[in-house]
Amino acid sequence: MDKNELTRLKKEAAEKAKAAAIKRRQEKERQASESGQDLELAKKKAAAAAKAKAAAAARAKAKAASTEKKEEESSVEPSPNEPLLQRYIQIIERQVGTDSYEEYYINRLSKDVPTILAKPHTYMDIAQVLKQQLHFDFLAELHGTDFETHIEVYVYLCSLQNGQSVVLKVKLDRDNPMIPSLVPLWKGADWPECEAYDLIGIKFSGHPNLKRILLGEDWIGYPLRKDYKPHDEGV
């Protein structure tokens, strides 16, 4: 019953779309034939259409914004990954301490990935727990971001055996961003840490070979910092 209804609706929509397309084409052809005589008119029309489109877009945006708000209000139901996050936090609290993290949440924008914001001095301990106790054996991504008030390191970890993911973040002081290197835990962190050092200027202590991997040692400044000014001698 439902299915029939759906197929009927689909068909109708398709027919409508087709009719609209034909109409559009006809109009285009008509316009093309007339374009010799009254290009001016066509131009005006296009300008008007553009204006109308812009207005429609603005309306749509406003609508989207309002529905989003509504959705936010209604989406109090917990994420399916909530129990996982609770488990991680429990284990971290037991192993590292109850005040070892700043906050933890489910990042709904990023396919509900559990996110833990560590403190700089517990970052390494939490990473260790994640690897050894929770089997996050695969480092998928490591990079830094300059948020102007602070610099953030973003580490995306996967567990190949459990099929789970977790994000470990840490906020660093912008003037002297220093954090232990993850290379002893995941060898794959080697080059990404070099990249973060090269482009953002985060120093990873204990890294076996921290170098400016992309730009070269003689580059001045850290390009991905928001206040970066290109240094061009002689240009």
Partner 1 sequence: MFGLAKGLAYTLKNLSRKKVTYSYPDEPLPLPDRFRGIQKFYPDKCIVCNMCVNICPTDCIQLTGVKNPDPTKKGKVISTYDINFEICILCDLCTEVCPTEAIVMTNKFELAEYSRDELFKDLQWLDENDQHVRKENKV
Partner 2 sequence: MLRTEEMLLNVGPQHPSTHGVFRLVIKIEGEIIKEATPVIGYLHRGTEKLAENLQYTQIIPYTDRMDYLAAMTNNYVLCHAVETMANITVPDRAEYLRVITMELGRIASHLVWWGTYLLDLGATSPFLYAFREREMIINLLNELCGARLTFNYMRVGGVKWDAPDGWLEKVAEFIPYMREQLHGYHQLVTGNEIFLNRVKGVGTYTREEAIAYSLSGANLRCTGVKRDLRKDEPYSIYNRFSFGVPTREAGDAWSRYECRMEEIEESLKILEQAVAQFPSDGPILAKVPKIIKPPKGEAFIRIESPRGEIGCYIASDGKKEPYRLKFRRPSFYNLQILPKLLEGENMANLIAILGAIDIVLGEVDG
**Residue 205, by phi and psi: left (phi above 0), alpha (psi -120 to 50) or beta?**
beta
17 touches partner 1 by CB under 8 A? no
Residues at the site binding partner 2, with contacts judged by CB under 8 A: 14, 17-18, 53-54, 57, 60-61, 64, 68, 107, 109-111, 113, 137-141, 143, 145-147, 154, 156, 160, 163, 167, 186-192, 195, 199, 213-216, 223-224, 228
Residue 13 vs 178, nearer CB to partner 1: 13
The binder of 46, among partner 2, partner 1, none, by C-beta within 5 to 8 A per type, is partner 1
14 touches partner 1 by CB under 8 A? no
**HSE on the CB side for 51, CA within 13 Å?**
6
30 touches partner 1 by CB under 8 A? no
- Closest separation between CB of residue 60 and partner 2, Å? 6
Tally of CB atoms within 10 A around 138: 15
- Closest separation between CB of residue 47 and partner 2, Å? 16
Q: Which residue in this structure is represented by tokens 């439902």?
A: 2
Q: Which stretch binds partner 1 (CB under 8 A): 45-53, 146-154, 210-218, 222-230?
A: 45-53
Q: Which stretch binds partner 1 (CB under 8 A): 42-50, 85-93, 140-148, 168-176?
A: 42-50
The binder of 188, among partner 1, partner 2, none, by C-beta within 5 to 8 A per type, is partner 2
- Pairwise CA distance, residues 166 & 85, whole Å: 8
**HSE on the CB side for 2, CA within 13 Å?**
0
The b/e string for 88-121 (b: 16+ C-beta within 10 A; e otherwise) is bbeebeeebeeebbeebebeeeeebbbbbbbbbe
Token pair, residue 152, equals 């953030």
47 touches partner 1 by CB under 8 A? yes
Among 22, 39, 55, 56, binds partner 1 (CB under 8 A): 39
Q: State whether the Cα torsion 128-202-155-92 is positive or negative.
A: positive
Listed in sequence order, the residues at least 6 apart from 108 whose beta carbon sits closer than 8 Å to its beta carbon are: 75, 79
Residues lying near partner 1 in the complex (CB under 8 A): 39-40, 42-44, 46-47, 49-50
